Amino acid sequence: MTMPQDTKSVVAVVLAGGSSDDALAVQAGVEAKALLPLAGKPMGSYVLEALRASSLVSACIYVGETTPAVAALATHCVPAGRTLADSLALGLGAALTEVKEGQRLLVVTADLPWLNTEALDHFISASPSADLVYPIISQAVAKEQFPQQKRTYVRLKEGKFTGGNLILLKSQIIPSLLPFINRVYHSRKNPFALAALVGFSVLVKFLLGRASLSELEQRVGQMLAAPVQAFVTPFASLGADVDKPSHLEAEFKQPLSEV
């Protein structure tokens, strides 16, 4: 039986895993950072609400610790894995049961409380059709929209950028993506291992700020054996996350509803 094609909508996977010893989780007394209470509800619920409000999202898979209120916003909930790669594999596995022919998968972290449907719909609808698309935000846009949030920026030929907390992908890239994520995860604290992973020539250009977006896209595409493309988004909320206690004081002076 042939499944109907659906090339415009996506199935979303919300990564809400995390250890109970995370600084924010400990401070709030919750089992995971995604359950941090903000304005009366868990942080992860803001992401789920934005996804549910989008006509371009057909299903939401939530990966991690949950509550009855959070679970009610998701299509399916699955436990988090031991590592990021494990959680991603579990989430994508559950998402594939919901995917129709032609649909892509949207992976998003649960620590984006300012995420809104307008930003989501723009990313989904305006992104190129590469097998994997990753949003990046220019320094100017990030500082204009979230002036109090400190971000790490990478200097490229095209300017300074910070990364978003989402990826858009086609199901055929999953077999090569999961081992790649696992390799990056295990190499994240070893500069030599990371250099070997991306290639020393690319790494040197990257460190000197001489690498271009196209060079990085080409190198990652080679490692995944699939087309990869960065997408410059005008919505800084795709990367405005909460990952340390200081964000609670610096960022939440600005009401969630104002962004």
Cα(40)–Cα(251) distance, integer angstroms: 16
**CA pair distance 61, 92, nearest whole angstrom:** 8
* Nearest-angstrom CA–CA distance, 248 and 155: 28
Torsion from C-alpha of 213, 95, 88, 76, nearest 10 degrees: 130
* Residues in contact with 151: Cβ distance below 8 Å, sequence separation at least 6, in sequence order: 139, 142, 162, 239
pLDDT at 70 over 70: yes
Hey, what amino acid is at 94?
Answer: A
Residue-wise pLDDT for 136-181, tens only, equals 999 999 999 998 888 888 888 899 999 999 999 999 999 999 988 8
pLDDT at 255 > cutoff 50: no
Residues 80-133: tens digit of each pLDDT: 998 888 999 999 999 999 999 889 999 999 999 999 999 999 999 999 999 999
Q: Residue 181, class by beta-carbon neighbours within 10 Å (0-12 exposed, 13-18 middle, 19+ buried)? A: middle
Q: Which residues, 6+ apart, have CB-to-CB distance to 252 below 8 Å?
A: 38
The pLDDT of residue 49 is above 90: yes
- Residues 207-232, mean pLDDT to the nearest whole number: 88
CA atoms within 13 A on the CB side of 18: 24
Quote the tokens at residue 183: 């390799």
Residue 126 DSSP SS3: helix
Average pLDDT, stretch 42-58? 96
SS3 per residue for 62-108: EECCCCHHHHCCCCEEECCCCCHHHHHHHHHHHHHCCCCCCCEEEEE
10-253: which CATH number, 3.30.565.10, 3.20.20.150, 3.40.109.10, 3.90.550.10? 3.90.550.10
Q: What is the band of 247 on the pLDDT scale with cuts at 50, 70, 90?
A: low
- State the pTM of this model: 0.87
Extents of the domains making up the chain = 10-253
Q: Band of the pLDDT at 230, cuts 50, 70, 90?
A: very high
Average pLDDT over every residue of 24-50:
85
Contact 60, 74 (CB under 8 A): yes
Task: Give the confidence band of 184 by pLDDT, cuts at 50, 70, 90.
Answer: confident
Instruction: Give me the pLDDT at residue 196, please.
Output: 67
Residues pairing with 63 in the sheet? 15, 78
Percent of the chain topping pLDDT 70: 83
CB 226 within 8 A of CB 131: yes
pLDDT of residue 187: 64
What local confidence, expressed as pLDDT, does residue 183 receive? 79
